[in-house]
Structure 1
Amino acid sequence: MPKKTIQRFIPKTEDLKASKHLKFFGDWLHNPNLWHLNRRSAAGAFAIGLFVAFIPLPSQMIIAAALAIMFKVNLPLSVALVWISNPFTIPAIFYFCYLVGTGILGQPVADYHLELTWHGLEHLIATIGPAFLLGSLVNGIVFSVCGYFAINALWRYSVRRRYRKRR
């Protein structure tokens, strides 16, 4: 059952309400739709979490929480899914985003060596920045749409299977 599996991995409601980083959302956190887990809220949370995981910004959890509140989907699940891009996976994810961006723009993959200076950072952004940002946006959209439909289909399959077992 996807509901029981998902509930094992998402953070507890009390922990998120007590989080100092989410306190500024105030009374919006008391909306019961943000904490209810059903097919619509889980699929929407997957879409938001996967999209934000590909955004190359710090504070992805806050962005995911704001989007979950705005779209009224499961907040803990959308915040937890952001951790797909963690310190171990982020180099591979961002390199894949860069490759997708260069493929879309028709650019060759740059052989770049990072210099830890301000000038080196400016050169990095000018060289690989547009392809990387475009690849991040495209991957975020594609993976969020795929995640939405996959969770929706998995949830429906699970419900059908449960009803068949009852008969």
Structure 2
Amino acid sequence: MTPLPRSFYDRDTVTVAHELLGAYLVHDVAGETRVGKIVEVEAYLGEEDLAAHSSRGLTPRTRILFGPPGFAYVYLIYGIHCCLNVVTEREGNACAVLLRALEPVRNVHERTCGPGLLCRAMGIDLRCNGHDLLSGNLFVAARMDEEERCIVARPRIGVAYAGDWAAKPLRFYLAENPHVSKR
């Protein structure tokens, strides 16, 4: 498996979100390669998106979002759970896709149906913030099959504070996959 090129991430965020479904998240943890198939994501559309961290502008925490595409933005929720986003679009747009759920493929033995569980099972923590996803030890690899995928679009989870943005169908998942966090 090889990392997707930077050009994959340097596109419209919703397009990237759709194309991440069925791709593989790969992380080498202490010599063990963990692999999970991405089955659920959420798109965050930059500073105008009130659910996005970038809606408050450029801060030390969000500087990765404003950088070039193809980097990991990892943050803590509730002070305990890490969440992994991939930065998308051109530098300065502050867009990203949150990885919400994986189907375990190799050396993943814990639950992966939720962004915090996904990170724990894959060995992803705050040290991965700012990591270049074109590296050989934490990256996304292309889908291996060309079969048609049925993608479901729903509102994102846990963003009720974001007004009209909370209702936008920016959460995407593979229909019928048992590892999706919420239907």
Q: TM-score, normalised by structure 2?
A: 0.24
* Larger strand fraction of residues: 2
* Larger helix fraction of residues: 1
Q: Which is greater in Rg?
A: 1
